[in-house]
Each structure stands twice: as structure tokens, then as C-alpha cells.
Chain A
Amino acid sequence: MKGVQTESIPLTRLTVPVARRDHIQGRLDAPVTLLEYGDYECPYCGQVFPMVKAVQERLGDGLCFAFRHFPLTNVHPHSEHAAEAAEGAGAQGKFWMMHDALFENQGALEDEDLIRYATALRLNARRLITEVQTGAYATRLREDFMSGIRGGVNGTPTFFINGIRYDGARALSDLLNAAALHL
């Protein structure tokens, strides 16, 4: 036979495991690893932001939370610069503080806003905005994005719990229950 037909696509398993390359909160060897593919300008990601915080609070040391960038740059014109800003802050040791600032201010993601957040976080804002505007972390962002595509991410936010895509409801109790199964 010349071609192949697949009845179903093995969509749902993470192809690049969470590792040292990732931005994580918690220990890599925690019993539960929750990975989010997200976009700082995506309203649904904004909605789950407090939910993730709540899961972290409930599971404590049992949880390792990781975040990878999945910016849909054509529909969310600020998403790429926002992701670059998070990486730029990461290079200065404050990824998660910028991550929080971006999700808490989704309506204000212009370059001047990014400079403002960098300044408030006592980062070298000039360095950060230069990196943002030159796409200093473009390769990293693309790696994140493609690892998501290969793992079956089809939109944001998409979560993986211990490497398996979470297809449940976007509600705290469901996410918490799914994560707690691995404790």
C-alpha cells in the first residue's frame, strides 16, 4: 500500500519531559508534575492563573509546576513579546515574578508596560526590552511551542499531569482531583 491511514492520532502524551531546561516551581522529583502550555495574552490562560496557584497551595511539596510558552502570535499580537519578557526576566533570575505580573496585567502588554514591570521588579529594564525587541529567546520559545505541538497541544491553556494531557474541565476541583490521583 502506497500510503497509510491512521484511525486515531496518538495526541496526548508529552514528548519532551519536564526537565532542568524548564521553568519550574517545586522539585523535579515531586510525585505530581503539572505542566502548562500557555500564552500571556490568552484570556483562558488568565482565567486559570489563580486556579494553578490554588492547586500549588493545596498540593504543596507534592507538586512541581512547570510553564512552557505557546504563543499564538497572529491572534495575540502581544504574546510573543510578553513571552520574551518572561524569558528575559528569567535570565535575570525573576522568571516567575514576571510571569505573575504578565498574567495579572493581561490588558497591558505593550512594550512600555513590559518596561514598567521590569522596573518594578528591579530588573535591568534596558537589557530586558532590548532582548524582547531583538527576539533574544526566539529559539527557546519555538522549542517550547513545537514540544507542545508534538505532544498534542491544540490551544491554550493545555495542561499535562505527569506527562499525560489533561482533558478534563477547566475547573479547580477537576484539575485538583486529577492531580491528586498521583499523590
Chain B
Amino acid sequence: MANQVTQKQKSGSRKSKALSGGTKAPDFTLHSTPDQFVSLSEFQGQPVVLAFYPADWSPVCGDEMALFNEVLPEFQNLGAELVGISVDGAWCHAAFARDRKLHFPLLADFEPKGAVARQYGVYRDGDGVSERALFVIDEEGFIHWSYVSPLGVNPGANGVLSALEDLENKKTAKNHNTQRS
């Protein structure tokens, strides 16, 4: 199937150095459009999903972003926002987002190239692109969950949804305990 994977591809994925759960998410500021910026810190107080992907226009990335675009209402129901990040420039992102009718921002990790991907441990030296990696960051700015997919495999949205539901459940339990004490 178009986005699916053989065992060989799976085992071919390299050891990930991606930041893992419990780590403070490094803050960043990147272009979201040619004349606007987005900082991670702006999302403080709500969960945010960072979807790193190798390249605008490539077949798997296009499918992954199209899928996330359709699931976006479910992310938002769980109080979360979604941003895509690649090393493409802001003008390229603008054309890609318009073509695919994406309803979430694409951030340009363009100059210095891949700096944010490096901070998150998901830059592919030699290839010059980021891994296909997902981070779910909690409302206090800590990484709750992360996942690096083999480059040619669209990871789907189930992992992100489960992580967001986990955060939601923890929040509910915490509020419940606060009320009791």
C-alpha cells in the first residue's frame, strides 16, 4: 500500500536520538509565513503537537499532512494545537499549504537550516532534512511523548491521539485530587 511498510524498512530505521518524554521542550521561534513568526512558548497552557517531516511535496509527507489535516478537529477537541515543521522555506510552505488546504501552520526550520530539528534530536545529517518525528508537548512545556517513524512510513495519527488522551486523563485526575484535598 502507498504508505505502508515492509519488515525490512522497519528494521532499517536508525537508532533515534530524539528527545524523549519528561524532557523540557526547547523553545524556538520560526517563520510561519514569510512575514509572521510562531514561538513554542505561545502555546504554553495547552498541549501542542509538533510534526517534523522531511519535505513539502514529497509523497509520504503529503499523505501524512493530509491525514493530520483531517484529524485536526479531534486534536482540537482534546485542547491541542498542531504545527508541522520542515527545513523548507516559508514561501514553499505557503504554496504547499495552499495546495493541500492545510488548516494548521507549517513552520520553516530554514535558517540556520534544521536548527530546531537538531535541538529535538531529529536532524538527519547528510540528508539535510529532519526525521519524520512526532512530539506531544504538555501544557507546561514538557515533552510527554515522542516517536520517530521510519522515513518512508506515514505514522498515522493514533499515537498522537493516545498521547493527548493520556494528558487529558492525567489533567482530569489532577483536578479531581485538587478538589478533594
Contact = CB atoms under 8 A, between A and B. Distances in A.
Contacts of A167: 1, 4-6
A73 B145 contact: no
Interface stretch (B63-71, B84-92, B106-114): B63-71
Interface in B51-89: 63-64, 66-67, 69-71, 74
A179 to B, nearest CB: 15
B54 to A, nearest CB: 16
A154 B67 contact: yes
Contacts of B100: 74-75
Contacts, number: 98
B43 interface: no
Contacts of B156: 9, 11, 149, 152-154
* Highest count of chain B CB atoms <10 Å: which of A75, A153, A157: A75
Contacts of A73: 70
Contact of B101 (A44, A75, A150): A75
A167 B138 CA distance: 33
B63 A4 contact: no
Contact of A155 (B6, B63, B101): B63
B21 interface: yes
7 contacts: A3-B144, A5-B147, A6-B145, A11-B156, A72-B66, A74-B102, A146-B74
A152 B155 CA distance: 8
Nearest to A146: B74
A73 B101 CA distance: 10
B1 A2 contact: no
Interface in A1-29: 1-6, 9, 11
Interface residues of B, number: 40
Interface of A: 1-6, 9, 11, 44, 72-75, 145-146, 149-155, 157-159, 165-168, 170
B21 A74 contact: no
Contacts of A145: 70
B66 A4 contact: no
A9 B158 CA distance: 8
B70 A158 contact: no
Nearest to B143: A3
A170 B21 CA distance: 37
Nearest to B23: A3
A159 B3 CA distance: 12
A3 B71 contact: no
B33 interface: no
Given A1-B21, A4-B21, A74-B102, A149 B1 contact: no
A155 B67 contact: yes
B63 A154 contact: yes
Contacts of A3: 20-23, 138, 142-145
Contacts of A170: 1-2
